[in-house]
Amino acid sequence: MGPARTVADVGIEALAVHVPRHYLDVGDLARANGVDPGKYCFGLGCRRMAVLAPDEDPVVLAVRAATALFERYDIDPASVGMVVVGTESGVDAAKPIATYVHRMAGLPRDCRTFDVQHACYGGTAGLRMATGWVLGGLRPGRKALVIATDVARYEIGSPGEPTQGAAAVAMLVGDEPRVLRLEPYAEAVHTEEVMDFWRPTYRATALADGHHSIECYLRALEGCWSGFTAESGLGLGAFDYLLYHSPFPKMAFKAHKRLYEVATNGGAGFDPDYERRVLPTLWSNTEVGNAYSASLYVSLAGLLEHSEVDAAGKRVGLFSYGSGCCAEFIAARVGDDASAWRGRTGLRQVLAARREITHESYLRFRQAHEELARDGSFRTPLAPEGVAFCGTWNHQRVYRDATWPAAVTSARPGDACPPSDVLRPASRPVRVQAGE
Ligand code: CAA
């Protein structure tokens, strides 16, 4: 028997990001809503929000993040033994997104698949389950694929609208954590039943008691931090960077302010500290908006791909918050060799490949999604290549992917997709370039 492994040996081996092909400038949204752009851009810290085209959904984002992960890191999909999808944008109350990912990413049959839902905490819950599974050691050599995928959608004109966004982050979890090693401190978690943000199953848009949600977030942060610091003996100064769940970037500012006050007994020097240890983690969030369970990992990708930051070997603190609520503070160490992630997460490529849309197009895209979810027709105009959401048929979601017959995969924009009963079992992995 080999030596017992510890949490110190487990973490993220590879990480890839996928975002929708379009974005809306939040200033344009403010002008359309008759709001001073300063409120959205400076008051909330938002800049751009990712908008789903009609042929994109949380499944498509997840599959594209997964296939980008396999390609960019040259990972054999056969090495995956478990797929966990953290999401609060579930497209079905029973069938998990993980099963769609399993087929479209060409994963092996001897693989466990499931979704985890706890608002924005789902991705972190998946990460923790995956690390526990790796440590359990019952599938030696196999890796866990954890994907956080979400679409943040609020009512038009509501206070949450400027904070919308979407993204998926795929992470390979195993015992060679070249990207991020989780440090073996006792868990620092906080749960409290609160009604701060929710989406009943009959609604496509979320509801929030906004100011209450901010207070719940900050209370959970204090709860996690007091547990963490008591157990670990580490102070805030032990961290090179702090990543806070970012429903809107100003929330990370508020979070760090609260923690800084608690940790330093209201000490001076907050502003430069925020600029040094938090600001470098937020640029990617300002590009995509809130991505719920993926937001924290969009921040992580942003830090890793920051052009002026060398994160190699640095200790980071990650605060994950899911409304309802459950939160966790995690200490982790970035890998020592930046070539393991630099330029490989796909973050910069997918952001650079996006197109800006007008407020009118944003409204049209939203309406298309509402109609697709409602009437089950096949009217989705398709992007020329790659995995795409075609629409619904017989109450099933239908996707175009590489396992479809050639005549279907070459469908032109506007062509109808056939129903999913023509689908064949996956015979080979989908190969999709990030940034298409
Ligand atoms: N110029 C500059 N700043 C301005 C301004 C102007 N013209 N007008 C207002 N502001 C400032 C305000 O002073 C305020 O700043 P502070 O917070 O520093 O005081 C900021 O802009 C926002 O103004 P309001 O508080 O008046 O904004 P609001 O009430 O209309 O909406 C919100 C803000 C409640 C966060 C809303 O966006 C919302 O409900 N969002 C969804 C819920 C959410 O994200 N909650 C976060 C915690 S829960 C969580 O984290 C889970 C999750 O992902 C959802």
Are residues 16 and 131 both part of a single domain?
Answer: yes
Flag whether 144 is in a domain: yes
So what's the pLDDT on residue 420? Answer: 39
Is the previous residue joined to 325 through a cis bond, with omega within 30 degrees of 0? yes
Q: Are residues 263 and 138 in the same domain?
A: no
Closest residue (by CA) to atom 19 of ligand 1?
43
Selecting among 13, 56, 71, 88, the annotated active-site residue is: 88
DSSP annotation of 432 reads -
174 and 194 together in one domain: no
pLDDT in tens, 95-152: 999 999 999 999 999 999 999 999 999 999 999 999 999 999 999 999 999 999 999 9
| 430 falls within a domain | no
pLDDT of amino acid 283 = 98
Per-residue pLDDT of the chain (436 residues; tens, 9 = 90+): 444 445 558 999 999 999 999 999 999 999 999 999 999 999 999 999 999 998 999 999 999 999 999 999 999 999 999 999 999 999 999 999 999 999 999 999 999 999 999 999 999 999 999 999 999 999 999 999 999 999 999 999 999 999 999 999 999 999 999 999 999 999 999 999 999 999 999 899 999 999 999 999 999 999 999 999 999 999 999 999 999 999 999 999 999 999 999 988 877 899 999 999 999 999 999 999 999 999 999 999 999 999 999 999 999 999 999 999 999 999 999 999 999 999 999 999 999 999 999 999 999 999 988 887 776 555 566 676 789 888 877 778 888 886 555 444 434 444 444 443 333 333 333 333 333 2
Q: Is residue 173 part of a domain?
A: yes
Measured from the Cα of 162, ligand 1's closest atom is: 37
Residue 256 belongs to some domain of the structure: yes
Q: How far is the CA of 211 from the centre of ligand 1 (A)?
A: 8
Q: Which of 426, 305, 402 is nearest to 17 (CA)?
A: 305
Its domain, for residue 64, covers 7-180+352-357+365-409
Pocket probe mutation, ligand 1, options 29, 33, 44, 89, max atoms within 8 Å of Cβ: 44
Cα-to-centroid distance, 258 and ligand 1 (Å): 16
Same domain, 207 and 168: no
Which protein residues touch ligand 1 with a CB less than 6 Å away?
A: 36, 38-39, 42-44, 120, 159-160, 163, 196-197, 208, 210-211, 213-214, 217, 245, 247-248, 251, 290, 292, 321, 323
Q: Is residue 433 part of a domain?
A: no
What are residue 361's phi and psi, to 5 degrees? -65, -40
Residues 163 and 191 in one domain: no
Nearest atom within ligand 1 for CA of residue 37 = 7
Q: Which helix (H) or strand (E) holds 150?
A: strand 143-152
Residues 167 and 43 in one domain: yes
Tens of pLDDT, residue by residue over 206-265, are 999 999 999 999 999 999 999 999 999 999 999 999 999 999 999 999 999 999 999 888
Catalytic residue among 46, 71, 111, 120: 120
The CA 39 to ligand 1 mean position distance, Å, reads: 8
Q: How far is the CA of 43 from the centre of ligand 1 (A)?
A: 7
Query: 188 and 172 in one domain?
Result: no
Whether 346 is covered by a domain: the verdict is no
Are 303 and 348 within 8 A, CB to CB? no
169 shares its domain with 258: no
Is residue 128 domain-shared with residue 174, that is, in the same domain? yes
Same domain, 176 and 189: no
Residue 222 domain flag: yes
* pTM score, whole prediction: 0.93
Please indicate, yes or no, whether residues 128 and 170 belong to a single structural domain of this protein: yes
Q: 282 lies in a domain?
A: yes
> Residue 273 is part of a domain; what is its CATH number?
3.40.47.10
Judge contact between 346 and 72, C-beta under 8 A: yes
Q: CA triplet 102, 104, 107: central angle to 5 degrees? A: 40
**pLDDT for the residue numbered 380:** 61
Helix, strand, or coil (residue 9): helix
Q: Is the same domain home to 192 and 330?
A: yes
Q: How many domains does the chain have?
A: 2
For residues 164 and 288, the answer to whether their CB atoms sit within 8 Å is no
Nearest CA owner, ligand 1 atom 12: 43
